[in-house]
Structure formats: C-alpha cells, structure tokens
C-alpha cells in the first residue's frame, strides 16, 4: 500500500503498542489526553492499540470501555487525520471500527511518502522470523478460514479464548521468557529494499531504539505505552517536514510522556 502525504501535513506522529484495556486507566487517560492535544496533522497507530480485539461487534455488544476508545479516536479525527494498522493483539480490527472512529485502516506494510522520503510502516511482528512458533500461529490466524470460524463464535466464547491466550503470555513473562522475539535484520533490509524505502518505523518488540541498516537504511522502533511502569512509557515519534527553497527534508524526535501536547489548526 502506498500513501502519499497531503501537502497540508507538516507534522506527523507515530505511536504503537498501547495495549489499551479497562484495567489500566492511567494509560487510557494519557492516550486520550495525547489525542486531544497533539500538534500533529496526522497520527499513525501502528498496531496493538488494544490489548485484545475479538471483532468489531464488541462496539455494539460489549461494555463501555471499547466505546470510550472509539469515541477518543472519533474526537481526534476532528482535528487530525488518524490512521490505524492491525497488530498481533488486534488483527481483527475491521472496517466497521474504522468507520465508527472516522479513521483510515492501513495495510501492513504501508509506504508513506512524506518530507521527501519514503517511510515503510509496519507493526513489526512479521519480521520476527526467528520465533517460528509465533510465525506459524500468525499465518493461521491471519487466514480467512480461521477468522471466519472464530468470528462465528459468540462474543463470550471469543473473549474466553483471548483471555486464555493473554494468560499464556503472562505466564511466559513471569517465568523469565521474552514475550517477543526481535526483528530480523536481513528480513528488515529485504522489506525496505522491496518497497524502495530507506526508513522503517515499527512497534511490537517494546524495544525503542534506532538501528542503522545496510546501504544507509534505518529501522526506528516505537515505545510501548505503560503509564503504570516506573518510569512510565508513552513515547511519541514525531516527524516534521522542513523546506528550504525547493528542497524538502525532515526532522525526527522522540517525545517523552506528556510532552506532545498543544493544538495545531487544520
């Protein structure tokens, strides 16, 4: 998927791995405040927005929390363009959610053309090729047949399955295992080369950093969000367009929790 940025965009934000859930109200409140006050013209949420998303029908059959999240996104869309990408926790986000939130649903990967450069956007889990068990699981659950069978079950059944999967992740965390494998360098370079891009932005691994790759390419990893952690984590990667005469360039900065506010008129 190719996404040319509109000329009116001067500032673009990237966030991911919020893992929004009712049991973590501080993270939700920080995210809602960010959406209300960001100076960006557009924001890209690159997957795992929700701790779990078992189908768009949760907006009509589930509790208040999912609708609060949808309302926060819908309110943000009034003053900036909002784009969402599926992650490994919320790969069942669909067109009904996007329509409700007035957001644009992105393919993974998507190439954003902005500020004289091509930015390859991905959640990142497809590049963790060393975790073969997960890659097999990913191939299964991303298939149309599995999703049709899963969505045919009742909401309570789907929520029970999701709870069981989350419990397995928590057990792995408590026993000292890494939740997510790291991105494979060769796979990242190959994806960038295939898409004729020099910059990759992704989340998933919860290891925020900037990695230099071959041929002058780079891989920028987003922070996860956890306001209950010490210190709290909720970084925003902000990309600004600069122009000198006919030459376009950009600046990049990582903004710590609570520092991304202030409105920019559309």
The tens digit of pLDDT for each residue in 57-76 reads 999 876 689 999 999 999 99
Residue 131 scores a pLDDT above 70: yes
The pLDDT value given to residue 3? 98
Give the domains, in start order, of the chain with CATH numbers: 2-255 (3.60.21.10)
Q: Which residues contact 232 (CB under 8 A, 6 or more apart)?
A: 26, 30, 226, 257
Region at 204 (left for phi over 0; alpha for psi -120 to 50; beta for the rest): left
CA pair distance 238, 260, nearest whole angstrom: 9
- Using one digit for the tens of pLDDT, what is the confidence trace for 17-45? 999 999 999 999 999 999 999 999 999 99
* pLDDT tier for residue 172 given thresholds of 50, 70 and 90: low
- Structure confidence at residue 213 as a pLDDT band (50, 70, 90): very high
* Contacts for 24 with CB less than 8 Å, ≥ 6 apart: 226, 227, 228
Structure token pair of residue 126: 């497809």
Gap between the Cα atoms of 240 and 259, Å rounded: 16
Q: Is the confidence at residue 139, as pLDDT, over 70? A: yes
β-partners of residue 218 are 199, 212
Supply the pTM of this predicted model: 0.92
User: In the chain, how many H helices and how many E strands?
Assistant: 8, 14
- The kind and range of the H/E element at 134 are helix 132-141
Residue 176 has pLDDT above 60, yes or no: no
What's the mean per-residue pLDDT of the chain? 91
Query: Quick check: 171 pLDDT over 70?
Result: no
- Going by C-alpha positions, the residue among 51, 87, 71 that lies closest to residue 159 is 51
Mean pLDDT of 191-219: 96
pLDDT tier, 210 (very low <50, low <70, confident <90, very high otherwise):
very high
Largest CA distance in the chain: 59
The residues with which 111 forms a beta bridge, in sequence order, are 2, 120
- Mind giving me the DSSP string for 187-222? HHHHHHHHTT-SEEEE-SS---EEEE-GGG-EEEEP
């Amino acid at each position: 998927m190719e996404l040319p940025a509109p000329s009116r965009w001067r500032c673009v934000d990237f966030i991911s791995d919020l893992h929004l859930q009712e049991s973590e109200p501080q993270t939700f409140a920080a995210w809602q405040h960010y959406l209300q006050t960001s100076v960006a013209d557009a924001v890209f949420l690159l997957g795992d927005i929700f701790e779990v998303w078992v189908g768009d029908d949760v907006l009509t059959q589930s509790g208040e929390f999912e609708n609060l999240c949808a309302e926060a996104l819908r309110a943000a869309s009034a003053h900036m363009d909002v784009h969402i990408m599926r992650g490994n926790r919320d790969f069942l986000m669909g067109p009904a959610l996007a329509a409700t939130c007035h957001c644009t649903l992105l393919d993974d990967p998507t190439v954003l053309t902005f500020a004289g450069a091509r930015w390859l956007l991905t959640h990142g889990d497809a590049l963790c090729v060393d975790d073969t068990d997960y890659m097999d699981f990913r191939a299964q659950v991303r298939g149309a047949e599995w999703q049709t069978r899963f969505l045919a079950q009742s909401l309570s059944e789907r929520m029970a399955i999701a709870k069981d999967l989350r419990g397995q992740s928590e057990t792995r965390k408590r026993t000292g295992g890494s939740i997510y494998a790291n991105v494979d360098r060769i796979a990242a370079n190959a994806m960038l080369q295939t898409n004729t891009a020099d910059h990759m932005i992704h989340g998933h691994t919860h290891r925020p950093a900037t990695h230099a790759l071959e041929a002058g390419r780079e891989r920028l990893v987003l922070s996860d969000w956890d306001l209950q952690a010490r210190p709290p984590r909720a970084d925003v990667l902000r990309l600004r367009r600069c122009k000198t005469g006919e030459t376009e360039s950009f600046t990049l900065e990582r903004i710590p929790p609570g520092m991304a506010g202030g409105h920019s008129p559309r």
